[in-house]
Amino acid sequence: EQKVVLITGCSSGIGLRIAVLLARDEHKRYHVIATMRDLRKKDRLVEAAGDTYGKTLTLLSLDVCSDDSVRQCIDSVKDRHIDILINNAGVGLLGPVESISMDEMKRVFETNFFGTVRMIKEVMPDMKKRRSGHIIVMSSVMGLQGVVFNDVYTASKFAIEGFCESMAVQLLKFNVKLSLIEPGPVHTEFETKMMEEVAKMEYPGADADTVRYFKDVYIPSSIDIFEALGHTPEDIAKCTKKVIESSRPRFRNLTNSLYTPIVAMKYADETGGLSVHTFYNLLFNFGSLMHITMSILKCLTCSCLRRRTISPD
């Protein structure tokens, strides 16, 4: 019996790779409904899907920000039956808060938080009725630890973590599983391009020092971190497949063991001082010594976090 998997945001990146990996499953265990806002952007997915397209993979249009679009899409699925819902659609936002409009900030929450909530609200009642189903939410390490100049993006991921932590309890009663995937940096063309563009932009409303810290300190060190620690979207797809196929999937799943120290700091010092000062030093004092600090921090990684990390291989 094939499982029906519906994935949001499949025109690029992680969503595209999850769709392809599941559609290509050698035992054909999945029927993938890959959704995207704009079906005109389907070419990359269709090409990557190869001969699975039209067989184990079908396409539907879905905008997570629209009630009508979500309702129509789910209604068009046979018996509204979805075994696995993968909430992947999301947008990033970088820069000094002073220069970001309230509307831009709301757009991030509309997609990352309310978009995911809208999907769960539409699909969960049928899962509860059937006493089966698995909801996956693409969170981030930034759903657990704040990162400078990612203030609003981080907040949107914290919000969805809180929502899911609360939902998981009642869903357990209905035998519906809920899992968060928490990738560290994922190396995509999109990310590097965005950072390069960001570095060129003006930041009206922010003072010169802040703009300098952002463009000349944060952006280069962030690119370094992506290069050094970044996973590929394929890695995240493999981790997600593992979570889906686990007989007892965990609630939280970090995917990048090199990044767990970032989260471990929070548990090592519950006053929050260690996290704030370490990030401060990484950004303003050490720069290229970052990797040394990272290795020292690695020692702090508690075993509970190691257990939580799932590797792509």
Place of tokens 């994922």: 186
Stretch that binds ligand NAD, among 9-17, 117-125, 161-169, 294-302 (CB under 6 A): 9-17
On whether the CB atoms of residues 133 and 111 are closer than 8 A, the answer is no
| 185 versus 261: smaller Cβ distance to ligand NAD | 185
Q: Is residue 11 within the footprint of ligand NAD (CB under 6 A)?
A: yes
Size of the site for ligand NAD (CB under 6 A): 27
Q: Is residue 14 within the footprint of ligand NAD (CB under 6 A)?
A: yes
Stretch that binds ligand NAD, among 7-15, 47-55, 260-268, 272-280 (CB under 6 A): 7-15
Judged by CB under 6 A, the residue of 18, 19, 22, 37 near ligand NAD is 37
Q: Is residue 52 within the footprint of ligand NAD (CB under 6 A)?
A: no
Q: Is residue 9 within the footprint of ligand NAD (CB under 6 A)?
A: yes
Judged by CB under 6 A, the residue of 95, 96, 115, 146 near ligand NAD is 115
On whether the CB atoms of residues 76 and 122 are closer than 8 A, the answer is no
| 188 versus 253: smaller Cβ distance to ligand NAD | 188
Q: How far is the CB of 10 from ligand NAD (least distance, A)?
A: 7
Residues in 59-88 that interact with ligand NAD by CB under 6 A: 63-65, 88
What is the spatial distance between Cα 114 and Cα 298, in angstroms, rounded to a whole number?
A: 35
Residues in 172-201 that interact with ligand NAD by CB under 6 A: 183, 185-186, 188, 190-191
CA neighbor of 94 nearest in space, from 160, 152, 51: 152
Residues 243-282, one symbol each (x = binds ligand NAD by CB under 6 A, - = not), give ----------------------------------------
What is the spatial distance between Cα 39 and Cα 70, in angstroms, rounded to a whole number?
A: 15
Per-residue 3-state assignment (H helix, E strand, C coil) for the chain: CCEEEEECCCCCHHHHHHHHHHHCCCCCCEEEEEEECCHHHCHHHHHHHHHHECCCEEEEECCCCCHHHHHHHHHCCHHHCCCEEEECCCCCCCCCHHHCCHHHHHHHHHHHHHHHHHHHHHHHHHHHHHCCCEEEEECCHHHCCCCCCCHHHHHHHHHHHHHHHHHHHHHHHCCCEEEEEECCCECCHHHHHHHHHHHHCCCCCCCHHHHHHHHHHHHHHHHHHHHHHCECHHHHHHHHHHHHHCCCCCCEEECCHHHHHHHHHHHHCCCCHHHHHHHHHHHHHHHHHHHHHHHHHHHHCCHHHHHHECCCC
| 14 versus 206: smaller Cβ distance to ligand NAD | 14
Q: Is 153 known to be catalytic?
A: yes
| 36 versus 211: smaller Cβ distance to ligand NAD | 36
Residues in 213-232 that interact with ligand NAD by CB under 6 A: none
Judged by CB under 6 A, the residue of 5, 6, 7, 8 near ligand NAD is 8
Q: Is residue 140 within the footprint of ligand NAD (CB under 6 A)?
A: yes
Kindly name the residue from 30, 53, 153, 259 that is annotated as catalytic. 153
Contact positions vs ligand NAD (CB under 6 A)? 8-9, 11-15, 36-37, 63-65, 88-91, 111, 115, 138, 140, 183, 185-186, 188, 190-191, 233
Which residue numbers are catalytic?
Answer: 153
